[in-house]
Amino acid sequence: MDQETWKLVIAHLSDETQEPTATMVREWLTKDPLHQQQLDQARWIWLATAEMPADEEWKESFKGISEAISELPQTAVKKKIFPWLAIAAVVTGLAIFIAFYQYRTISPAVQKESIVWLTKKAEAGKVLAIVLPDSSEIWLNSGSSLSFPKNMKASLTRTVRLNGEAFFKVRRDPAHPFIVQSQQIRTTVLGTSFNVNAWPERKTEVTVMTGKVAVSKEGKGTALLYLLPNQKAVYSQLKNQLSMEHVAETGEANAWIDGRMIFNQMPLESVFEIMERKYKVNIRTSHLFKGCKLTAKFGNISLAEVMATLEITLGIQYTIKGQTVFIKGGKCS
């Protein structure tokens, strides 16, 4: 990536909705498949430099390089980072360019064959704790699966694939960005902790507990959402829309690790799906509960206790036979 392209990328990352830089970056992405990987690395640098301390001696040592970014649009600097942070991004970019040059010399066939993927799956009714080869810690919710490279440092990024829900405590490694691919969402992180809820039948949610993450839709030239603690990204497949929301209690997002269930105006169909995975049962209803939503908090209690509460709250009748729950009636009929 030459200096002019690097400056264009910095301007784009400062405000990914601003034209004409957004259009120019999209055109650049179409010229070479490798450019998307370069943009991902640039985003990682952007996140890393945005959290660096403002050390006066460090800034002084890079004073002579400030001319390299003097042509950047003012909005590209003032909206996101201080000028010295942009300088850091330019300097770091040289190292990234060298890494990508080495990466380019490896044929795609060799790259593909050299990566051995492992998959872990949490059985229904159980939460699975995993320690990745890079020492990052993952908790998989029941029915979820996670795929990851056996040798994570063989690649420039630590990319994992999630189907379902997981809580991540990522070990910080600036040389190897950590990327979570889930449904149509990509989450790029520093060393941080966050929860990803990515079931196919529901909206995908990324909730940040500590640190900082960047979330984007899969695809070239897509805009990023930068999330801090008490914020979450929500992706609607129906609307193909990614938005950000404030979270009052981030601990509720991963309450499932302790066996708790927290529902906030959740459709009953989704409530039953969660209960099926947690208790390893099939729930059959006499009618559809369309339009019926539930707000409730349950501790790590038995299925019978949950059903007894729902019986009172919703006015339902139920029977449990083996691994099947039969429900009929209810106020939402």
Mean pLDDT of 148-174: 88
* Dist CA 244 CA 200 (whole Å): 20
Q: What are 37-46's pLDDT values in tens digits?
A: 777 767 666 6
Q: Return d(Cα 41, Cα 35) in angstroms, integer.
A: 10
32-36, 130-134, 241-245: least confidently modelled range? 32-36
80-92 pLDDT, tens digit per residue, is: 444 444 545 444 4
Q: Is the dihedral of CA 306, 308, 314, 320 positive or negative?
A: positive
Check: CB of residue 110 under 8 Å from CB of residue 266: no
Report the greatest alpha carbon distance in the chain: 76
More confident residue, 112 or 142: 142
Instruction: Identify the bridge partners of residue 140 per DSSP, sorted by sequence position.
Output: 128, 166
Collect all residues with Cβ–Cβ distance below 8 Å to 31 and sequence separation of at least 6: none
Q: Could you report how far apart the first and last alpha carbons of the chain are, in Å?
A: 61
pLDDT of residue 281 exceeding 60: yes
Sorted by where each starts, the structural domains of the chain and their CATH numbers stand as 3-105 (no CATH), 115-252 (2.60.120.1440), 259-329 (3.55.50.30)
Q: Which of 9, 191, 179 is nearest to 92 (CA)?
A: 9
Using 50, 70 and 90 to split pLDDT, how confident is the model at 152?
confident
User: What's the whole-number mean pLDDT along residues 46-56?
Assistant: 47
Determine which helix (DSSP H) or strand (DSSP E) holds 328, and give its type and residue range.
strand 324-329
Query: Strand, helix or coil at 62?
Result: coil
The mean per-residue pLDDT over the stretch 231-241 comes to: 90
> Among 34-43, 71-80, 216-225, 317-326, whose mean pLDDT is lowest?
71-80
Q: Is the pLDDT of residue 184 over 70?
A: yes
Give the dihedral sign, CA 33/34/39/41: positive
H helices present in the chain, as ranges: 3-14, 21-30, 34-50, 56-61, 74-78, 83-104, 108-114, 268-279, 303-314
Determine the length of the chain. 333
Q: Tell which residue, 150, 48, 156, 149, has the closest CA to residue 102.
A: 156
For 165-174, b where at least 16 C-beta lie within 10 A, e where not — what string?
A: bbbbbbeebe
Which of 62-71, 235-244, 254-263 has the least mean pLDDT? 62-71
CA pair distance 333, 322, nearest whole angstrom? 26
Instruction: List the structure tokens of 65.
Output: 């390089």
**For residue 14, how many C-alpha atoms fall within 13 Å in the half-sphere facing its CB?**
24
| Residue 123 clears pLDDT 60, i.e. is over it | yes
User: Do 169 and 204 meet the contact criterion of CB atoms below 8 Å apart?
Assistant: no
In the predicted model, what is the mean pLDDT of the chain?
Answer: 78
Q: Confirm whether pTM is higher than 0.85.
A: no
- Report which residue type is found at 47: L
Query: Do the beta carbons of residue 204 and residue 198 sit within 8 Å?
Result: yes
Condensed to tens digits (0 to 9), the pLDDT of residues 98-109 reads: 433 443 344 444
Q: Which two tokens stand for residue 268?
A: 């009953």
Model confidence at 15, pLDDT cuts 50, 70, 90, reads: low
Judged on CB neighbours under 10 Å (0-12, 13-18, 19+), 260 is middle
